[in-house]
Amino acid sequence: MASGEVVSSWIVTFMTDIRGGNDDAMRYVLSGYWIGLVLGRLLLVRVTSYIGPKLALTIYGIIAIGLLAVIQSVDNVAVNAVATAVNREPYWYKIPVWKDVTEKEFLDYNWQVANTVQGKYKLAKYLYAVLPEHILYDEDAPETSRHVQTRDMFVQDVLGGISLAPMSIRITPHVMSVIDWTKPLSDPIRRQFIPLKSSFIEDHPRLQLDSLNETGSSPTPGLVHRYHDKALFLAVSVCPVYCRFCTRSYSVGGPTEEVSKKNIFPPTRRRWEPMFKYIEETPQLSDIVVSGGDGYYIPPEHLTSITERLLAIPHIRRIRIASKGLAVCPSRILTPGDEWTQAIIKASTAARKMGKSVALHTHFNHPAEMTWITRLATQKLYEEGVTVRNQTVMLRGVNDNVTTMKALIRMLADNNIMPYYVYQGDMVSGVEELRTPLSTILEIERHIRGSIAGFATPNFVIDLPGGGGKRLAVSYDTYDRSTGVSTYVLPGRNGGKDKVYEHHDPL
């Protein structure tokens, strides 16, 4: 490093330390202040008597303005350094086919889309490229998968799992690159997106595809109105990735061998028109969640027209755009001129000016999903004033322990993403191996509540099967841990009478 670079990096570090309240840095500043005061005073008296008070005053003024400007510019460099002082590790290099991909290419959204892994054959090809020939024994893996010892066995297991899965395969390069391929059997990211037949568990008899009965609460197709003041606007049926545990596996993604996906939601203005009409004619609605599918795949011009149309409705005060994009393809936010990013920033700014709000609701489930690219993308949204909240799903083998959940929540809070909800995994068909008993979420909340600032502590909730809506997990009326059956009573739901909703733990 050249000596100039050493000095400037020292100054930047020093200013960063001061801004961060570093005690040593503050001591240096105070010592410098007192030494400077004594020497400066001696110099001042001598120079002033030599050149006269008027000239001296002018020179001192110019020096003071110059010093302030230097401090300000160094300070600005330090502020930017806080955002960019990251280890830009090319974490995609561990995928052999991407070892020559440059940072510029990986950060480009078009490259991410073009290299997204889709379908079982393309996935198998990547697995052969990325997996070691021999898979190490992994005691953290599900017991039924620990016998898998070779790459061939693993790939066959994946292909068998895909034939049983309700969701098709789509995985972004970012997600492929954060999986620990030396431990593919237990890796928490792999478990969310790539099924294994060996860990498949038969569905609980009470599981359903549309477990929340969303189709039963739709006044018009694509719009779910369950809560008094809130509606769900299903804008698209596609996503940048397909999560195995998706609540909307009845409609999201391409058809699979198990699920034909009849109720799809194409992003067309003609389909949206009756949904807008219902919202306009229902004054009790003040809050709209625009989801799908994933908001990342709403074309930018449509995102603008949806948010503009909703913001123009006087009784709509809050809009949330639901997207896992920040967690699974953060490069898009940093891609210069990306129109989707500009659309959400524009909508958020316009809403603020109207005294309303447009927020981004995202979906991180594990700390390993956040890389330096995610941090820069999150910082960009924060600087642009976009509110970002997170909704986590509790999943077995992914985040069902206190250490991981605590690390996830802290990571979100440290990056100015509000940890809004932790959900009990829904009773969705086809992913029983990922469900946890209610007791797990209760126990994790017991450890976490009080150990993290209240405003950064999420609500631990359950979305009641059959359309009961969200309730605090701890608010059950009964919970028999031996049978795994819990009940939640909702007053006045049944023609003025109480309605009881049941949740069933995995068998």
Amino acid sitting at position 83: A
Min dist CB 236 to ligand SF4, Å, is 9
Among the listed ranges 29-37, 237-245, 395-403, 470-478, the one in contact with ligand SF4 (CB under 6 A) is: 237-245
User: How far is residue 403 from each of residues 128, 188, 433, 443, measured CA to CA in Å?
Assistant: 33, 14, 21, 12
Burial class (CB in 10 A: 0-12, 13-18, 19+), 131: middle
Distance, CA of 61 to CA of 65 (rounded, Å): 6
Min dist CB 237 to ligand SF4, Å, is 9
Exposure class string for 372-407: b at 16+ Cβ within 10 A, else e: ebbbbbbbbbeeeebbbbbbbbbbbbbbbeeebbbe
Would you count residue 293 as binding ligand SF4 (CB under 6 A)?
Answer: yes
- In the complex with ligand SF4, which residue's Cβ is closer, 294 or 400? 294
Min dist CB 19 to ligand SF4, Å, is 37
User: How far is residue 269 from each of residues 265, 291, 323, measured CA to CA in Å?
Assistant: 11, 15, 20
Min dist CB 325 to ligand SF4, Å, is 8
Min dist CB 180 to ligand SF4, Å, is 21
- In the complex with ligand SF4, which residue's Cβ is closer, 107 or 235? 235
Residues 6+ apart with CB under 8 A from 64: none
Among the listed ranges 6-14, 25-33, 246-254, 444-452, the one in contact with ligand SF4 (CB under 6 A) is: 246-254
- In the complex with ligand SF4, which residue's Cβ is closer, 363 or 471? 363
| Closest residue by Cα to residue 212 from 424, 13, 494 | 424
- In the complex with ligand SF4, which residue's Cβ is closer, 265 or 479? 265
Euclidean distance between the first and final Cα of the chain, in Å? Answer: 62
DSSP E strand boundaries for 126-275:
170-171, 223-224, 230-234
Residue from 108, 187, 214, 294 in contact with ligand SF4 (CB under 6 A): 294
Min dist CB 166 to ligand SF4, Å, is 10
- In the complex with ligand SF4, which residue's Cβ is closer, 12 or 178? 178
Token pair recorded at residue 484? 């795994």
Quick one: DSSP state of residue 183? S
Min dist CB 111 to ligand SF4, Å, is 20
- In the complex with ligand SF4, which residue's Cβ is closer, 252 or 373? 252
Distance, CA of 122 to CA of 305 (rounded, Å): 35
Would you count residue 417 as binding ligand SF4 (CB under 6 A)?
Answer: no
Q: How far is CA 188 from the centre of its chain?
A: 15
Would you count residue 193 as binding ligand SF4 (CB under 6 A)?
Answer: no
Min dist CB 70 to ligand SF4, Å, is 48
Distance, CA of 426 to CA of 249 (rounded, Å): 11
Among the listed ranges 152-160, 204-212, 244-252, 371-379, the one in contact with ligand SF4 (CB under 6 A) is: 244-252
Among the listed ranges 15-23, 238-246, 466-474, 485-493, the one in contact with ligand SF4 (CB under 6 A) is: 238-246
Distance, CA of 86 to CA of 289 (rounded, Å): 34
Count interface residues toward ligand SF4 (CB under 6 A): 9
Min dist CB 400 to ligand SF4, Å, is 17
Residues 6+ apart with CB under 8 A from 455: none
Among the listed ranges 243-251, 376-384, 428-436, 485-493, the one in contact with ligand SF4 (CB under 6 A) is: 243-251
Would you count residue 422 as binding ligand SF4 (CB under 6 A)?
Answer: no
Min dist CB 507 to ligand SF4, Å, is 24
Would you count residue 463 as binding ligand SF4 (CB under 6 A)?
Answer: no
- In the complex with ligand SF4, which residue's Cβ is closer, 12 or 117? 117
Min dist CB 430 to ligand SF4, Å, is 13
Among the listed ranges 117-125, 176-184, 227-235, 240-248, the one in contact with ligand SF4 (CB under 6 A) is: 240-248
Would you count residue 239 as binding ligand SF4 (CB under 6 A)?
Answer: yes
State how beta strands 117-118 and 357-362 pair: unpaired
Q: Is 467 left (phi over 0), alpha (psi -120 to 50) or beta?
A: left
φ, ψ (nearest 5 deg) of residue 159 = -60, -40
CB distance 146 to 139 below 8 Å? yes
Residue from 107, 135, 175, 252 in contact with ligand SF4 (CB under 6 A): 252
Distance, CA of 170 to CA of 303 (rounded, Å): 22
Would you count residue 366 as binding ligand SF4 (CB under 6 A)?
Answer: no
Among the listed ranges 104-112, 126-134, 235-243, 464-472, the one in contact with ligand SF4 (CB under 6 A) is: 235-243
Would you count residue 246 as binding ligand SF4 (CB under 6 A)?
Answer: yes
Q: Which residue has the tokens 């954060």?
A: 178
Min dist CB 243 to ligand SF4, Å, is 3
Residue from 120, 174, 261, 324 in contact with ligand SF4 (CB under 6 A): 324
Would you count residue 248 as binding ligand SF4 (CB under 6 A)?
Answer: yes
C-alpha torsion sign, points 32, 34, 40, 46: negative
Min dist CB 465 to ligand SF4, Å, is 17
Find the helix packing angle between 53-84 and 3-19, rounded to 10°. Answer: 80
Residue from 212, 243, 319, 329 in contact with ligand SF4 (CB under 6 A): 243
Contact residues toward ligand SF4 (CB under 6 A) are 239, 242-243, 246, 248, 252, 293-294, 324
